[in-house]
Amino acid sequence: MGNTKDYAWEVVQFHGTESAVKDDEIASEWPLTVMLNGDEFATMVCSPTDLDDLLIGFLAAEGIIRSYDEVISISVDEYKGFAYITVRNELETIHQDHSKRFIGSCCGKSRQFYLKNDAKTAKTVYSSISISVEQCYVLMEELQCQSVQFMRTGGVHNAALAEPDGVFTVRTDIGRHNALDKIYGHMLRNRIPVKNKLIVFSGRLSSEVVLKIAKIGAGIILSKSAPTDLALRLANDLRITVIGFARGSKMNVYTHPHRIVEAQKNN
């Protein structure tokens, strides 16, 4: 499913106290139940686009698979809203650690907040990627220009896989985590190496977002929105460069500024 299924909805629109009836385009919200090796595993609410990317990225982020080669089959029943996936791992192993909290002996560091599957899959990032401040501004503008569905509906998040010189894959979803899973799945399915890659993002930078970036292995996350305190503590631990409030010609670099070329002069 490559095209987003948005809907027209009649609204009464006000400009000041003047009103008019018009059709407004609404983003589609779609429940998808994942059947894994014959058993119900999870139900997610998503945008009905790039579902193979979403499913593969979701399974990798949850620690179910490490590569696309571990997937035996995958099919989606769009009418019923079910995805049927068979993987090489045994179900007993899959469910054993899923969603159990991991309490680590990290001297009070942020990793004590990990779930067990996060502890297995969210690794410290040693990427040597670097980027200029000007390139950050250009990449955010590129994401904004390619965010066609957001401009139509205002109801979705966008994530892009990029190199410092440009954006080359954009994925859209009503859920910011889903948008990142779609990027991750696209990388796995197409065997795209993470070296010299970064993620450009429209959403708030929560701890869950930073963990997904660590799972992908990208050294930089660039967003127009704000981070949380836990996200920044995790990013410090995981050696991820967090850039937030990238809007126009302004941005904040919160962690590991050594990857920003101009910042090297002051460190």
Is residue 163 situated within a structural domain?
A: yes
Q: What is the CATH number of the domain that holds 221?
A: 3.40.140.10
Let me know if 107 is a catalytic residue.
yes
Q: Which of 106, 107, 136, 145 is catalytic?
A: 107
Is residue 84 situated within a structural domain?
A: no
SS3 content of the chain, % helix, strand, coil (to 5): 35, 30, 35
Is residue 13 situated within a structural domain?
A: no
- The pTM score is 0.84
Is residue 62 situated within a structural domain?
A: no
Please give the tally of structural domains in the chain: 1
Please indicate if the annotation marks 247 as binding a ligand. Answer: yes
Please indicate if the annotation marks 189 as binding a ligand. Answer: no
What 74-83 contacts at long range (C-beta under 8 Å, 24+ apart), as own/partner pairs, is: 76/1, 76/32, 76/51, 76/52, 78/1, 78/48, 81/30, 81/31, 81/32, 81/33, 82/32, 82/33, 82/34, 82/35, 83/32, 83/33, 83/34, 83/35, 83/51, 83/55
Is residue 149 situated within a structural domain?
A: yes
How far is Cα 205 from Cα 221, in angstroms, rounded to an integer?
9
Is residue 15 situated within a structural domain?
A: no
What is the structure's pLDDT at 50? 94
Domain range for 159: 133-266
Is residue 128 situated within a structural domain?
A: no
Each of the 267 residues of the chain gets a pLDDT tens digit; together they read 444 566 677 887 788 888 888 887 777 788 999 999 999 999 999 888 999 999 999 999 988 999 999 999 999 998 899 999 999 977 665 655 555 444 343 333 444 445 556 666 778 899 999 999 999 999 999 998 887 766 565 568 899 999 999 999 999 998 889 999 999 999 999 999 999 999 999 989 999 999 999 999 999 999 999 999 989 999 999 999 999 999 989 999 999 999 998 754 544
Please indicate if the annotation marks 249 as binding a ligand. Answer: yes
Distance of CA 93 to the CA centre of its chain: 26
Is residue 218 situated within a structural domain?
A: yes
Bridge partners, residue 71, by sequence: 87
What is the structure's pLDDT at 3? 45
Please indicate if the annotation marks 246 as binding a ligand. Answer: yes
